[in-house]
Structure 1
C-alpha cells in the first residue's frame, strides 16, 4: 500500500517543475486492487501566491506483483500496468492536440519511473468538475440530454482522430498484454509507450480464459451460438466477429476509440448538454461503433432504444427500432462532418451489428449488466440474418487471405 508521504513527495516534485507548491493532498478514490490513488490537491504559485485545485493520479502497483516471470503474472495484472502507461501517453502527447470542444482533462505534469522492477506513474491534471460538476454514477443510466451530449462528444472524438488515422497508427504500439510482455520481457513501456494497437479491454485475443469458460457453459444459450464452429470445422461466430474487427478490412474506418465508454467515466454540465470523458486506460485503434455498443448497453435508457420497453423482457429477437436508429444517425452524421470522410450507412450498420455481437460475447463470458435483454434480442436477430452471416464469413476469409499474402 502506498504511503501518504510517498504520494505527497511525487506530487510535490511534479508541481515544483511548474512553479507550484503543494498545500494539501487528499485521496478521494482508491484505484482497482490497491494500485494507487486519485487525490485532490491544492497548490499555489510560487510567483503570485494564487492557489488552485487540481487532481493527482498516482499509480504504484503492489510490489508483490512486480517480477519478470510471465508465468507468475496474470494477464489482468499486466493489462492494468500497461493501461496506466497508455493513459499517461494519451494525456501527455495526444490529448493536447484536441480542440477544446472535445473536452478532456489537461495534464500539467507527469512522471513514469521504474525502480526495482516496479512502475510508478504520477499525473497532475486540472479538475474537470470546475466546468463539468455532475458526475456520472456507476452502472447508471444517463438522462436523454446527457445521452445526446455523450454521442456528440464521441462523434467529435472519433471524427477528429479518424481524419488523423496515420498519426493514430504511429502511436498504436502496445500489443495484447501477454504478447507484448513475452516480446519485451518487461511491464515497463517507457516514456514513449504509445497506445493500444487494439482499443478496449474486451477483445477476444485477451479474453481467452473467459471464452473457454463460455465454451464449457452448457447452461448458456450463447455457448453454442458463439463458440461452436460451423460446418466442416468453420470458424465460430465469436471468432469471425472478433477477427473482422481487428482485421485490415476495417483499416479505412479505424480511429482512436476511448475503449471504456460508460456513465461513470464522464462528467457533465449541470444542464447535461455537454460532457467530458476521462479514464483513457484503454484508448487505442478501433471502430467507433465499438464504443457505442457499450454506451448503448450500459448507460442509455432502454426507452430511447425501443418503441415499447415493457415488451423487451419477452422479446426473443429484435430488429433495430426507431430510437436506436435515431441515435445512430445522429452519431453517424456528425462523425462524417467532423472527419470530412464518407462512411456508407449500410456498411456502418453492418459494422455496428458486428460490434454488438462482439460485445455480447464478452458479456456472456464475463457477466451481464445494463440493457441485457435488449442486447441479447438484437444479437439473436443479427445471428438469424443469413445475409449478415454470409457477409461476416466472407469478410473474415478475405482478411485472412490479405494477412497471409
Structure 2
C-alpha cells in the first residue's frame, strides 16, 4: 500500500468484507494511521488459469471462466480510466491500481467515510427512486461514449457470451427470437455505457436513502440504458403483489433521464432518446428473461408478471 499511496499511509489492520466469485480474490477494508485517509477498500484479484471446479448453477465451463476473467480486467480498466471522469459521488474513487501478471489490485475509496455505504435488502420507494435516478444520470452522462477497454456489449447476460445457456433453453419464443432481440437492442441509434450488473446489492445508500453510489463494474460496456433498468427492477419488485405495477418507476427513470440529458448532452434530442428507449424496455427485459430461462428457469425473476410483460414486448415487435 505504501508503494501506491506513499509513506504517509501505514496499514494498521484489515477486515475481510467478502470473497470474490468462485475464489477469484477477496475484498477487504484496510485501516490506516493517517487521519486524512483512515480507511480504504482493497479489491485483490487473482485470476486462475483454468475454470474453477465449482459453480452454484453448474456453469463451470471454460467460456464462463474466460468471461469472468475479462470482467475483472474490464473493471480494472474502468477504475483506471473512466471513474475519475464522472461527477464525484457516483462511484468510489480509485486511489490506486496495480497489476502484475494475473494479480490485480484496486485501492478504492471507502464509502463509509462519506456515509454512503448502506446496502439494503428490502428497499423503500425512496431508495428505488434514488437508484433509478442514478441510472438515468449515468446513462445520460455516458451517451455515445466509445467502449474502449470495456465490454463492447455490457451486461453479464448478453447473448454473445451465453451460448451454453441459450442451448440449454427449451423451445420457446424467447429462444427462437434471441438473435432478433439482441439485434434490435444493439441497432438502437442511442447507445450509452450500461453498468451491466445494476442489481440492488450493487447500490450503496446514505442513511436517508436520498444519495447513492454504485459498485461492482465488472460488466460495464455498451448498450441501451433500459437494460440496466430491467435488471434493477427485477431485484426490487415484489412479484407476489397482485397490484404490482412498474409504471411509476418507469416514469421516475425517464423523467430523470430527460433532465440529465438536457444537462450532460445539450446537443442531443432528449425526447427522442426517451422515446426510443421507452419502446425497448420490455424487449430489454425479454433479453434478460431469455438468459434466465437457460441459466435457471425456476428463478424467482421468472414469473407470471415478467412473462406477461416480456411476451407483450415480443408481440409488439412481432417476434
TM range (shorter): 0.7 to 0.9
- 1:311 to partner: Cα distance: 5.5
CA 1:328–1:65: 2 relative to 1, 3 Å? closer
Spell out the pairing of 1:301-316 with structure 2 (5 A cutoff): 301=238, 309-310=241-242
- 1:125 to partner: Cα distance: 1.1
What is the TM-score with the length of structure 1 in the denominator? 0.69
Match of 1:381 in 2: 312
Runs of 5+ consecutive residues of structure 2 not aligned to the other structure = 53-59
Match of 1:79 in 2: 67
Match of 1:123 in 2: 106
Deviates more, 1:86-95 or 1:367-376: 367-376
Q: Does 1:355 align with 2:284?
A: yes
Say which structure is richer in helix: 1
CA 1:125–1:244: 2 relative to 1, 3 Å? same
CA 1:111–1:211: 2 relative to 1, 3 Å? same
Spell out the pairing of 1:232-311 with structure 2 (5 A cutoff): 236-246=176-186, 249-250=187-188, 252-301=189-238, 309-310=241-242
CA distance in 1 between counterparts of 2:259 and 2:304 reads 29
Spell out the pairing of 1:131-210 with structure 2 (5 A cutoff): 131-137=114-120, 140-162=121-143, 165=144, 168-169=145-146, 172-173=147-148, 194-210=149-165
CA 1:99–1:346: 2 relative to 1, 3 Å? closer
Match of 1:226 in 2: 174
Match of 1:96 in 2: 84
CA distance in 2 between counterparts of 1:365 and 1:294 reads 16
CA RMSD of aligned residues (A): 2.5
CA distance in 1 between counterparts of 2:196 and 2:134 reads 14
Give the structure with higher Rg (CA).
1
- Of 40, 55, 77, 2:29 maps to 40
- Of 38, 45, 48, 1:52 maps to 38
Q: Does 1:13 align with 2:3?
A: yes
CA distance in 2 between counterparts of 1:374 and 1:136 reads 26
Runs of 4+ in 1 over 4 A off after TM superposition: 63-66
Answer yes or no: is the 8 Å Cα contact 1:15–1:22 preserved in 2: no
CA distance in 1 between counterparts of 2:311 and 2:238 reads 21
Match of 1:112 in 2: 99
CA distance in 1 between counterparts of 2:137 and 2:313 reads 28
What is the TM-score with the length of structure 2 in the denominator? 0.87
Aligned residues: 306
Match of 1:396 in 2: none
CA 1:109–1:129: 2 relative to 1, 3 Å? same
Answer yes or no: is the 8 Å Cα contact 1:112–1:120 preserved in 2: yes
CA 1:65–1:205: 2 relative to 1, 3 Å? closer
CA 1:27–1:321: 2 relative to 1, 3 Å? closer
